[in-house]
Structure 1
Amino acid sequence: MNKRIGMYSAIVTLIGVIGFAVSMLLGKDVGSYLFSLFISWGFVPMICSFSANGTKENKAAGYTAIAFSSVYAVLVGLVYFAQLTTIRLAKLNEQATAILNYKNLGSLFFNYDLFGYAFMALSTFFIAFTVEVKNKKDKWLKTLLLVHGVFAVSCIIMPMLGVFNADMKGGSIIGVLVLEFWCAYFAPICILAYQYFKKNEEN
């Protein structure tokens, strides 16, 4: 059952990543926010499945990854659900919009979103230690998960340094390109994770 949940959650996460990438290219904000929620809903059980299938020696790493993934899901969930509801449907004044609207670079919710993805990156870093390498695909999966942890540093430091702000020229385009790169990086993780769980299920 643990492995099946891992397979299904990897598929849900992959669908979310692809939907998110396509929505950004088409300029569909609602789609981007909705698929971002799907990513978090698939990611948490996927991390839990990795942890459940890990060895006893790696339980601490697995539990740490689960904790970090939960924080990620809560933070980004609050950000994107607010965009789909309050921001989209309510008539907010200029000050409230400046704080809550994710599209405003450097806004509170924009920074919360980056902070959430920092926890996602930390989660992948720790869960990588639970992956048992038995072939090249497993090695690639483990490496991609570990390297993805590096994103945590930029997600924390950039908001503190004010890299993204309302006066930034071409900020929206740069943001889209960065996120498209992330999608291209994370999609293989989902595919390899599915194959990892499927192989263990068959065994």
Structure 2
Amino acid sequence: MNKKIGMHSAIVTLIGVIGFAISMIVGKNAGGYFFSIIISLGFIPMICTFSSLNSKENKAAGYAAIAFSSVYAVLVGLVYFAQLTTIRLSKLSPEALAILDYQHLGSLFFNYDLYGYAFMALSTFFVGLTIEVFNKRDKWLKALLLIHGVFALSCIIMPILGVFSTAAKGSYTMGVLALEFWCVYFTPICILAYQYFKKNL
């Protein structure tokens, strides 16, 4: 059962990442929100499967990874579900949109989203600490997970410093490029995770 959950969750996460990347390229924001929810739904069981492989000395890191992944899923789930429902289907005032609409850089929900991804990054960092390396693929997986943890700092510090609140108009394009880079970065993590579960479970 652990093997099936791990492999399937890695596939679901990968589908979410690819779907998100395509949605951003074609300019379908609703698709991006939907696939972001899919990523979070695959990510938690993927992290839990990594943690199920932990040795006794790595259990604390595994538990931390699960906890951080859960916080991530709740925060981004609230943000994107609101975009797909309340924001998309309701006629809100400009004042309400300035707070709730993800498209407003520096809005409350935009900042909540970044905060959520900080927890995702922390989750990958802690689960990366638990990876046992047996070959080059495992070494790459561990490195990618640990390095991904660095994104937590920028996701927390940049909104606090008001970087996005004072962003220029061209920042949207830069934001899309940054998200596409993240998709390119996270895709091999999903593929290597699938192979890791297939081999070790």
**TM-score, L = length of structure 1:** 0.97
Aligned to 2:99: 99
Which segments of 5 or more consecutive residues in structure 2 lack a partner in the other structure?
A: none
Q: Percent identity?
A: 75
Residue of structure 1 equivalent to 2:138: 138
Paired with 1:40 and 1:167, the residues of 2 have a C-alpha distance of 27
Partner of 1:90: 90
CA contact (8 A) 1:3 1:53 kept: no
Task: Give the deviation of 1:88 after TM superposition.
Answer: 0.1
Does the residue aligned with 2:180 lie in a helix, a strand or coil? helix
Other structure's SS at 2:105 match: coil
| Alpha-carbon distance in structure 1 between the residues aligned to 2:120 and 2:175 | 18
Corresponding residue of 2:43: 43
Runs of 4 or more off by more than 6 Å in structure 1? Answer: none
TM-superposition CA deviations, 1:59-114 (whole Å, max 9, x none): 00000000000000000000000000000001100100000000000000000000
**Count of aligned residue pairs for this structure pair:** 201
Q: Aligned-residue CA RMSD in angstroms?
A: 0.8
Superposition pairs of residues 145-156 of structure 1, within 5 angstroms: 145-156=145-156
Partner of 2:124: 124
Mark the CA change 1:121 to 1:169 in structure 2 (over 3 Å): closer, same or farther. Answer: same
1-structure distance, mates of 2:44, 2:83: 21
Equivalent-residue separation in structure 2 for 1:191 and 1:157 (angstroms): 30
**Corresponding position of 2:177:** 177
SS in 2 for 1:105: coil
* Counterpart residue type for residue 63 of structure 2: Y
| C-alpha contact (below 8 Å) 1:2/1:53 kept by paired residues | no
Matched residue SS, 1:54: coil
Unaligned 5+ segments in structure 1 are: none
Q: Hey, what does 1:26 align to over in structure 2?
A: 26
Q: Matched residues in 2 for 1:167 and 1:43: separation?
A: 30
Superposed CA deviations along residues 112-139 of structure 1, whole A, max 9, x for unmatched, are 0000000000000000111111000000
Aligned-partner Cα distance in 2 for 1:93–1:147 = 41
Per-residue CA deviations over 1:135-173 (Å, capped at 9, x if unaligned) read 000000000000000000000010011111265231110
Q: Could you tell me which amino acid in structure 2 is paired with residue 182 of structure 1?
A: W
